[in-house]
Protein backbone atom coordinates (compact mmCIF):
# COMPACT_ATOMS: atom_id res chain seq x y z
CA UNK A 1 0.00 0.00 0.00
CA UNK A 2 1.09 3.51 -0.58
CA UNK A 3 1.45 6.18 2.13
CA UNK A 4 -2.27 7.06 1.92
CA UNK A 5 -3.34 3.44 2.51
CA UNK A 6 -4.41 2.83 -1.09
CA UNK A 7 -3.78 -0.62 -2.52
CA UNK A 8 -0.91 -0.83 -4.99
CA UNK A 9 -1.11 -4.52 -5.97
CA UNK A 10 -3.72 -7.29 -6.12
CA UNK A 11 -2.46 -8.76 -2.83
CA UNK A 12 -3.32 -5.45 -1.12
CA UNK A 13 -6.77 -5.50 -2.70
CA UNK A 14 -7.35 -9.11 -1.56
CA UNK A 15 -6.07 -8.36 1.96
CA UNK A 16 -8.35 -5.34 2.27
CA UNK A 17 -11.36 -7.22 0.91
CA UNK A 18 -10.75 -10.13 3.29
CA UNK A 19 -10.65 -7.74 6.26
CA UNK A 20 -13.95 -6.15 5.25
CA UNK A 21 -15.77 -9.26 4.00
CA UNK A 22 -14.45 -12.67 5.07
CA UNK A 23 -16.67 -14.35 2.46
CA UNK A 24 -14.24 -13.10 -0.20
CA UNK A 25 -12.12 -16.12 0.72
CA UNK A 26 -14.71 -18.34 -0.96
CA UNK A 27 -13.95 -16.78 -4.33
CA UNK A 28 -10.18 -16.99 -3.78
CA UNK A 29 -10.20 -20.52 -2.34
CA UNK A 30 -11.08 -22.49 -5.50
CA UNK A 31 -8.37 -21.13 -7.80
CA UNK A 32 -5.86 -21.31 -4.93
CA UNK A 33 -6.74 -24.96 -4.30
CA UNK A 34 -6.25 -25.85 -7.96
CA UNK A 35 -2.86 -24.09 -8.06
CA UNK A 36 -1.66 -25.76 -4.86
CA UNK A 37 -2.87 -29.23 -5.82
CA UNK A 38 -0.16 -30.01 -8.35
CA UNK A 39 2.85 -29.79 -6.04
CA UNK A 40 0.96 -31.45 -3.20
CA UNK A 41 -0.11 -34.33 -5.44
CA UNK A 42 3.45 -34.85 -6.65
CA UNK A 43 4.80 -34.95 -3.09
CA UNK A 44 1.99 -37.17 -1.74
CA UNK A 45 2.08 -39.51 -4.73
CA UNK A 46 5.80 -40.09 -4.37
CA UNK A 47 5.81 -40.41 -0.57
CA UNK A 48 8.12 -43.10 0.80
CA UNK A 49 6.46 -46.43 1.37
CA UNK A 50 3.95 -46.09 -1.44
CA UNK A 51 5.96 -46.28 -4.64
CA UNK A 52 9.73 -46.91 -4.57
CA UNK A 53 10.87 -44.71 -7.46
CA UNK A 54 9.50 -42.02 -9.70
CA UNK A 55 11.00 -40.44 -12.77
CA UNK A 56 10.72 -36.68 -13.29
CA UNK A 57 8.08 -37.40 -15.95
CA UNK A 58 6.04 -39.46 -13.50
CA UNK A 59 6.19 -36.61 -10.96
CA UNK A 60 5.00 -34.25 -13.70
CA UNK A 61 2.09 -36.57 -14.53
CA UNK A 62 1.15 -36.75 -10.83
CA UNK A 63 1.40 -32.95 -10.64
CA UNK A 64 -1.00 -32.41 -13.56
CA UNK A 65 -3.33 -35.19 -12.37
CA UNK A 66 -3.50 -33.42 -8.99
CA UNK A 67 -4.57 -30.19 -10.68
CA UNK A 68 -7.25 -32.04 -12.62
CA UNK A 69 -8.58 -33.96 -9.62
CA UNK A 70 -8.91 -30.89 -7.40
CA UNK A 71 -10.32 -28.79 -10.25
CA UNK A 72 -13.02 -31.40 -10.69
CA UNK A 73 -13.76 -31.71 -6.98
CA UNK A 74 -14.04 -27.96 -6.35
CA UNK A 75 -15.64 -26.88 -9.63
CA UNK A 76 -17.60 -29.95 -10.66
CA UNK A 77 -16.48 -29.67 -14.26
CA UNK A 78 -13.64 -31.64 -15.79
CA UNK A 79 -10.74 -30.07 -17.61
CA UNK A 80 -8.16 -31.54 -19.94
CA UNK A 81 -4.52 -32.21 -19.06
CA UNK A 82 -1.43 -32.57 -21.21
CA UNK A 83 2.27 -33.19 -20.62
CA UNK A 84 5.03 -32.48 -23.10
CA UNK A 85 8.03 -34.65 -23.95
CA UNK A 86 10.49 -31.82 -23.32
CA UNK A 87 9.06 -31.21 -19.81
CA UNK A 88 6.14 -29.15 -18.71
CA UNK A 89 2.43 -29.73 -18.54
CA UNK A 90 -0.87 -27.93 -18.29
CA UNK A 91 -4.40 -28.40 -16.98
CA UNK A 92 -7.22 -26.39 -18.51
CA UNK A 93 -9.78 -26.08 -21.27
CA UNK A 94 -8.26 -27.25 -24.56
CA UNK A 95 -8.90 -29.98 -27.11
CA UNK A 96 -5.47 -31.18 -28.25
CA UNK A 97 -1.82 -31.33 -27.29
CA UNK A 98 -0.91 -28.68 -29.86
CA UNK A 99 -3.54 -26.32 -28.47
CA UNK A 100 -2.27 -27.05 -24.95
CA UNK A 101 1.29 -26.26 -26.04
CA UNK A 102 0.16 -22.88 -27.38
CA UNK A 103 -1.60 -22.04 -24.12
CA UNK A 104 1.31 -23.33 -22.02
CA UNK A 105 3.78 -20.88 -23.55
CA UNK A 106 1.68 -17.88 -22.51
CA UNK A 107 0.32 -18.93 -19.10
CA UNK A 108 1.82 -18.07 -15.70
CA UNK A 109 3.26 -20.76 -13.44
CA UNK A 110 1.27 -22.05 -10.46
CA UNK A 111 3.37 -20.00 -8.05
CA UNK A 112 2.86 -16.80 -10.04
CA UNK A 113 -0.89 -17.39 -10.32
CA UNK A 114 -1.20 -17.95 -6.58
CA UNK A 115 1.27 -15.26 -5.40
CA UNK A 116 -1.31 -12.60 -4.49
CA UNK A 117 -3.58 -15.01 -2.64
CA UNK A 118 -0.64 -16.36 -0.62
CA UNK A 119 0.46 -12.80 0.20
CA UNK A 120 -3.04 -11.76 1.25
CA UNK A 121 -3.97 -14.79 3.37
CA UNK A 122 -0.95 -17.00 4.13
CA UNK A 123 -2.59 -18.72 7.10
CA UNK A 124 -5.67 -19.67 5.09
CA UNK A 125 -3.55 -20.91 2.19
CA UNK A 126 -1.54 -23.07 4.63
CA UNK A 127 -4.74 -24.60 6.02
CA UNK A 128 -5.99 -25.19 2.49
CA UNK A 129 -2.73 -26.91 1.55
CA UNK A 130 -2.95 -29.18 4.59
CA UNK A 131 -6.54 -30.10 3.71
CA UNK A 132 -5.55 -30.99 0.14
CA UNK A 133 -2.66 -33.05 1.46
CA UNK A 134 -5.00 -34.98 3.79
CA UNK A 135 -7.31 -35.62 0.83
CA UNK A 136 -4.48 -36.95 -1.36
CA UNK A 137 -3.27 -39.20 1.45
CA UNK A 138 -6.64 -40.93 1.58
CA UNK A 139 -6.34 -44.29 -0.11
CA UNK A 140 -9.13 -43.86 -2.67
CA UNK A 141 -8.06 -40.40 -3.79
CA UNK A 142 -4.40 -41.42 -4.03
CA UNK A 143 -5.36 -44.47 -6.09
CA UNK A 144 -7.43 -42.27 -8.43
CA UNK A 145 -4.52 -39.84 -8.66
CA UNK A 146 -2.14 -42.63 -9.67
CA UNK A 147 -4.60 -44.13 -12.16
CA UNK A 148 -5.04 -40.75 -13.82
CA UNK A 149 -1.28 -40.16 -13.84
CA UNK A 150 -0.77 -43.59 -15.45
CA UNK A 151 -3.22 -42.70 -18.20
CA UNK A 152 -1.54 -39.33 -18.77
CA UNK A 153 1.91 -40.92 -18.80
CA UNK A 154 0.95 -43.31 -21.60
CA UNK A 155 -1.06 -40.90 -23.77
CA UNK A 156 0.41 -37.41 -23.01
CA UNK A 157 -3.16 -36.03 -23.16
CA UNK A 158 -6.44 -36.63 -21.34
CA UNK A 159 -9.43 -34.79 -22.80
CA UNK A 160 -12.17 -33.25 -20.70
CA UNK A 161 -14.61 -35.91 -21.93
CA UNK A 162 -12.25 -38.72 -20.97
CA UNK A 163 -11.64 -37.07 -17.59
CA UNK A 164 -15.39 -36.81 -17.01
CA UNK A 165 -15.82 -40.54 -17.68
CA UNK A 166 -12.87 -41.26 -15.39
CA UNK A 167 -14.37 -39.23 -12.53
CA UNK A 168 -17.81 -40.70 -13.15
CA UNK A 169 -16.33 -44.12 -12.42
CA UNK A 170 -14.14 -43.13 -9.48
CA UNK A 171 -16.43 -40.60 -7.77
CA UNK A 172 -20.03 -41.38 -8.80
CA UNK A 173 -21.64 -39.73 -5.77
CA UNK A 174 -19.22 -36.90 -5.12
CA UNK A 175 -20.72 -33.47 -4.42
CA UNK A 176 -19.00 -32.18 -7.56
CA UNK A 177 -20.69 -34.82 -9.69
CA UNK A 178 -24.09 -34.14 -8.08
CA UNK A 179 -23.67 -30.40 -8.81
CA UNK A 180 -22.61 -31.11 -12.40
CA UNK A 181 -25.62 -33.37 -12.96
CA UNK A 182 -27.94 -30.72 -11.53
CA UNK A 183 -26.44 -28.07 -13.86
CA UNK A 184 -26.85 -30.42 -16.85
CA UNK A 185 -30.46 -31.07 -15.90
CA UNK A 186 -31.13 -27.31 -15.70
CA UNK A 187 -29.65 -26.78 -19.17
CA UNK A 188 -31.92 -29.48 -20.62
CA UNK A 189 -35.07 -28.11 -19.01
Residue 86's pLDDT is what?
79
Residue 78 scores a pLDDT above 50: yes
Residue 157's pLDDT is what?
96
Phi, psi of 92 (to 5 degrees): 170, -160
**Cα 59 from Cα 145, distance rounded (Å):** 11
Residue 54's pLDDT is what?
74
Total structural domains in the chain? 1
Helices (H), the chain: 10-20, 24-45, 56-75, 97-104, 110-120, 122-137, 139-155, 160-170, 175-188
Q: Which residue has the higher pLDDT, 189 or 123?
A: 123
Instruction: Tell me the pLDDT band of 168, cut-offs 50, 70 and 90.
Output: confident
Phi, psi of 106 (to 5 degrees): -110, 0
Residue 53 scores a pLDDT above 60: yes
Q: Tell whether 183 is covered by a domain.
A: yes
Instruction: Tell me the pLDDT band of 51, cut-offs 50, 70 and 90.
Output: low
**Cα 100 from Cα 121, distance rounded (Å):** 31
Residue 91 scores a pLDDT above 70: yes
Residue 15's pLDDT is what?
86
**Cα 143 from Cα 150, distance rounded (Å):** 10
The DSSP bridge partners found for residue 92 are 80
Q: Tell whether 175 is covered by a domain.
A: yes
Residue 49's pLDDT is what?
57
Instruction: Tell me the pLDDT band of 4, cut-offs 50, 70 and 90.
Output: very low
Residue 28 scores a pLDDT above 80: yes
**Kind and range of the H or E run holding 83:** strand 80-83
Q: Tell whether 128 is covered by a domain.
A: yes
Q: Tell whether 60 is covered by a domain.
A: yes
Residue 21 scores a pLDDT above 90: no
Q: Which long-range contacts (CB under 8 A, 24 or more apart) does 159-163 make?
A: 159/80, 159/95, 160/77, 160/78, 160/79, 160/80, 160/93, 161/78, 163/68, 163/72, 163/78, 163/79, 163/80, 163/81
Q: Tell whether 179 is covered by a domain.
A: yes
The pLDDT of 80-105, averaged and rounded, is: 91
Q: Tell whether 127 is covered by a domain.
A: yes
What residue numbers bound the domain in which 174 lies?
A: 10-188
Q: Tell whether 136 is covered by a domain.
A: yes
Amino acid sequence: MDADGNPTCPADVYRRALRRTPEVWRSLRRPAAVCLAGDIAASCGTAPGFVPHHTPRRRLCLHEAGHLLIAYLVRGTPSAIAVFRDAGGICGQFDSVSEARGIWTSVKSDTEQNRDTVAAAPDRVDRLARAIERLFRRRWHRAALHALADRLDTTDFVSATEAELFFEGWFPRSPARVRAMARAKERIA
